[in-house]
Amino acid sequence: MNPLVQAVLARYGADPHSLVQIFRELQQLQGWLPRDNLCQLAAALGLTLAQVEGVAGFYRFFHTHPVGAYRLLFSDNITDRMLGSEALMKDLCRRLGVAPGQLGDDGLVSVDKTSCTGLCDQGPALLINYRWVVTRLDAERVARLAELIRARVPVAQWPAQWFEVQDSVRRADVLLAAPATPGVALAAALARGPTAMLADIKRSRLRGRGGAGFATGLKWELCRQAPGVEHVVVCNADEGEPGTFKDRVLLSRHADAVLEGMTIAAQVIGARRGLLYLRGEYRYLLESLLAVLQRRRDDHLLGESILGHAGFDFDIAIHVGAGAYVCGEESALIESLEGKRGTPRIRPPFPVQQGYLGNPTIVNNVETFCAVGAIAFYGGAWWAAIGTTESTGTKIHSVSGDCERPGLYEYPYGTRIDAILQDCGARDTQAVQVGGPSGMCLSDSEFDRRIAFEDVPTAGAFMVFDSSRDMFEVARSFAHFFAHESCGFCTPCRVGTELVARRLDKLAAGHGSGDDLVVLIELDRLLHSASHCGLGASACNPLRDTILKFRPAYQQRIKSPHFEPAFDLDAELSIARRMTGRDDADAHFENES
């Protein structure tokens, strides 16, 4: 057996549930995953070759063919494009003599695009060998970068300032303000005991920050009551929704608060095991997170008899993802944690009943766990007094796009859109995409609306578009994102997202007709009603919103703009809107817990 394969297998105890991590480490050592490695892994893990290849083929960051010593991936969110990423990529390809997506003849370098890397406040961004990120790319950096690659200088020796990732916190409230001393919130929770702590979480009326807004107290109670050998706490740090980067900052500045929230959750539901699912794009945070974990073990905040409480044993492991947006969906995330393809599960059973390895499992967002620590320290009533009746506490927004001061803004729920626009220095704004592509696109007539589950719900992205932007192109970019990220499990989403993207390409090429709009609306209905998970169900949200609110951007691409569809388009859109239930918080996350 290849000694590298042997060594990595040994590190993971030849556990087939670690297959994704085994792949990641092997690829880091060799650059790609040769077929003979896959055969050896299959034999050693007791899996079939088809199973092993199926997993390797699912994740975009794994390669079963050589990809070059330097693998460069440009972040391809609309905000990166607005900052000029496409021209920079073209320039880099020209300088290196490679075609986008192709490996050069000498096998040295490949240049391609990847979905949003969560650096929209400091783009355009580049991911290198799944290990380093370069922020604030410009023509000068690209020219120098090409020289370094041609001279085969190892990435670790490139200018250190290129890799600087800033935590631009612009407005801090209770969560982003100076963090509490590690252990203080946990001590408060332990003093209260698990039953009283759960009651306090319920009193706070905290709702999940990952998008669905499910009541955290209820989720924990259901899990606590579910029979099972071992209960599990999972932190969802996949943060794949384009335009979202708040979890990145929380993990880099407030890692203790996140891990402390997970530990309090463990105390409440009776868990010994915690797993943090870190998106592959945030691999560069791994070492610092591991250091925080170790420090917490040394300080008796993790491990056995936490803070001297006999019988309270809990520890956390980090699992790094490999470039699949769908793995943010909680059941797909659990599949990935189990070393499988990230295909969303059929529910019931829900994760709180049967989650990780069949055990009762809670999955919560990074920000939700931060809020838990604050509630443990200050109390549920204190949290419930912030925000609105249905949406208590604060919400952190990742602000990017056409504004002077991109970065993180934390506000109490109930804050108006125009207040955020004013604070971030946005001018001449025509639209804001709140909650990422699967959220809502608001036009200027709606800027008096408020961030709240009962009005404008959000998982955290706030992308600003001024009047110079073409909202058709924004919707087209998001359509391509969904087509690219569809996991392919169910036909409506696999085929439907592709058809939507192609129709929009047809309109962009000037070959569109009014019929195309009709077909697009039909596809929206189909995708929403027949998709297996929230990805497909919300894939047409930007399309529907922009057709409704920015119709001229579509009409100018239609060959006969005076075309009258055979039915009332606005009436159809309003039916589609009702069917998709956009009023009831978030169609994206229907099958919650």
Ligand X SMILES: Cc1cc2nc3c(=O)[nH]c(=O)nc-3n(C[C@H](O)[C@H](O)[C@H](O)COP(=O)(O)O)c2cc1C
Stretch binding ligand X (CB under 6 A), from 74-82, 99-107, 128-136, 357-365: 357-365
Residues 414-473 close enough to bind ligand SF4 by CB under 6 A: none
Q: Which of 490, 500, 520, 585 binds ligand SF4 (CB under 6 A)?
A: 490
Strand partners of residue 114 = 75
d(CA 486, CA 540): 13
Number of residues that bind ligand SF4 (CB under 6 A): 14
| Count of all residues that appear for the chain in the document | 593
245 binds ligand X (CB under 6 A): no
Whole-Å CA distances, 291 to 140, 183, 245, 285, 309: 35, 16, 22, 10, 23
533 binds ligand X (CB under 6 A): yes
531 binds ligand X (CB under 6 A): no
342 binds ligand X (CB under 6 A): no
Q: Where are the alpha helices (DSSP H) in 341-466?
A: 366-378, 380-384, 417-423
Q: 359 touches which of ligand X, ligand SF4, none (CB within 5 to 8 A by kind)?
A: none
Stretch binding ligand SF4 (CB under 6 A), from 41-49, 365-373, 485-493, 585-593: 485-493
d(CA 335, CA 342): 5
- Residue closest to 283 by CA, chosen among 327, 234, 237, 235: 237
If 0-12 CB within 10 Å is exposed, 13-18 middle and 19+ buried, where does residue 61 land?
buried
Of the pair 274, 496, the CB lying nearest ligand SF4 is at 496
236 binds ligand X (CB under 6 A): yes
d(CA 589, CA 593): 10
Least distance to ligand X from the beta carbon of 577, Å?
19
Q: Which of 71, 203, 209, 397 binds ligand X (CB under 6 A)?
A: 209
Q: Which of 239, 260, 338, 410 binds ligand X (CB under 6 A)?
A: 239
Q: What is the dihedral of CA 469, 473, 478, 481, to 10 degrees?
A: -120
- The rounded Cα 203 to chain-centroid distance in angstroms is 29
Q: 211 touches which of ligand X, ligand SF4, none (CB within 5 to 8 A by kind)?
A: ligand X
Least distance to ligand X from the beta carbon of 332, Å?
8
Q: Which of 488, 495, 513, 551 binds ligand SF4 (CB under 6 A)?
A: 488
In this structure, are residues 533 and 492 in contact, taking their beta carbons and an 8 Å threshold? no
Q: 210 touches which of ligand SF4, ligand X, none (CB within 5 to 8 A by kind)?
A: ligand X
534 binds ligand X (CB under 6 A): yes
In this structure, are residues 209 and 589 in contact, taking their beta carbons and an 8 Å threshold? no
Strand ranges for 208-293 from DSSP E: 231-237, 271-278
Stretch binding ligand X (CB under 6 A), from 2-10, 137-145, 363-371, 564-572: 363-371
Least distance to ligand SF4 from the beta carbon of 492, Å?
7
483 binds ligand SF4 (CB under 6 A): no
Residue 95 CB contacts under 8 Å (≥ 6 apart), including other chains: 142, 143, 146
- The rounded Cα 252 to chain-centroid distance in angstroms is 16
Q: 435 touches which of ligand SF4, ligand X, none (CB within 5 to 8 A by kind)?
A: none
The three-state secondary structure class of 570 is helix
d(CA 374, CA 386): 12
330 binds ligand X (CB under 6 A): yes
d(CA 169, CA 171): 6
Stretch binding ligand X (CB under 6 A), from 162-170, 237-245, 297-305, 375-383: 237-245
Of the pair 251, 326, the CB lying nearest ligand SF4 is at 326
Of the pair 327, 507, the CB lying nearest ligand X is at 327
Residue 435 DSSP label: T
**Binding residues vs ligand SF4 (CB under 6 A):** 326, 344, 486-490, 493-494, 531-533, 535-536
**Binding residues vs ligand X (CB under 6 A):** 208-212, 214, 236, 238-241, 326, 328-330, 363-365, 368, 533-535, 588-589, 592
